[in-house]
Amino acid sequence: MTTSLTKEAAATAAVADVLVSGASRPPKPNALSTSLSFGWRALLKIKHVPEQLFDVTMFPIMFTLLFTYLFGGALAGSTSAYIQFLLPGILVQTVVMITMYTGVTLNKDIEKGVFDRFRSLPIWRPSPLVGALLGDVVRYSLASVIVLVLGVVIGFRPDGGIVGVVLSIALLLVFSFCLSWVWTMIAMIVRTEAAVMGVSMFILFPLTFASNIFVDPQTMPGWLRAFVEVNPVSFLVTSIRSLMAGDPDATKLVVTAAMCAGFLVVFGPITMRLYNRKT
């Protein structure tokens, strides 16, 4: 008991010395530093629960091999020919599908009351959300590398070279980051992790499968082709295919960039409004 009182008195005396001496307080952390701190927190969660990496390691391998060898011979005559068409699309599908886990993780933190604690900190208000999204960008990057390496092993050869591949991955990461704001908004609205996943899958399945990932839209019936041609995922896939082929499609790239900005401008403020009200 005496030891405890002595430590408390020493701490009080130290605080009093700081106040009397007029020493300045540490500077308030800026938006970038707090966002990066929460991004590091997201990565530490993976360290303690490595099973979270299953969706960015096993699923990319499974999707790439399954669709290449399942459809390659029937659609293109050979797997080596089909992989040239498929890989940019399967890369998009893999990364876009795992963006939904951003909302699932966020909903879990909200239900546990973690975000109530973050609200009391003297930090930039959106930093817990931005940091979580930045942490997920690392997961997206890992999935992209796995798909590309596997694609090269089974015969994919990008005519655009390393520059086209790097630009393609950069565009995909930007699109995924902006799209993730949709799932953060959903995480603020629904009550459970299962509900977040259910709603996200309901949206993602038609976006990814009713697109130009697997086949050319020219072979589709008119009503389906009309949807595919305005599907954001189709614009992204076409943009990435053009970059990897070394012949960038300026129109598709501009439209894709506009869609990224649209996701961020529309769903970012809505998410923050819901976040402020919910927490």
Residues 94-111 pLDDT 10s: 899 889 888 888 888 888
Per-residue model confidence (pLDDT) at position 2? 46
Other Cβ atoms within 10 Å of 6 Cβ, number: 10
Mean pLDDT of the 88-98 span:
91
Handedness of CA 139, 145, 151, 157 (dihedral sign): positive
Q: Residue 67: pLDDT above 80?
A: yes
Cβ(157)–Cβ(229) below 8 Å: no
pLDDT digits (tens, 9 = 90+) for 174-210: 999 999 999 999 988 988 888 988 999 999 999 999 9
Q: Residue 21: pLDDT above 60?
A: no
pTM score above 0.85 = no
Query: How far is C-alpha 258 from the chain's CA centre?
Result: 18
Is residue 116 helix, strand or coil?
helix
Q: Residue 112: pLDDT above 90?
A: no
Distance in angstroms (rounded) separating the CA atoms of residues 31 and 222: 48
Residues in CB range of 48: below 8 A, 6 or more apart:
none
User: Which stretches of the chain are DSSP H helices?
Assistant: 2-21, 31-48, 54-76, 79-98, 100-112, 114-119, 127-153, 161-189, 193-209, 222-230, 232-244, 250-278
Distance in angstroms (rounded) separating the CA atoms of residues 107 and 101: 10
Q: Highest-confidence range of 16-20, 36-40, 165-169, 189-193, by mean pLDDT?
A: 165-169
Residue-averaged pLDDT of the chain: 85
pLDDT digits (tens, 9 = 90+) for 130-144: 888 888 898 899 999
Per-residue model confidence (pLDDT) at position 11? 53
**If pLDDT is split at 50, 70 and 90, which confidence band does 57 have?**
confident
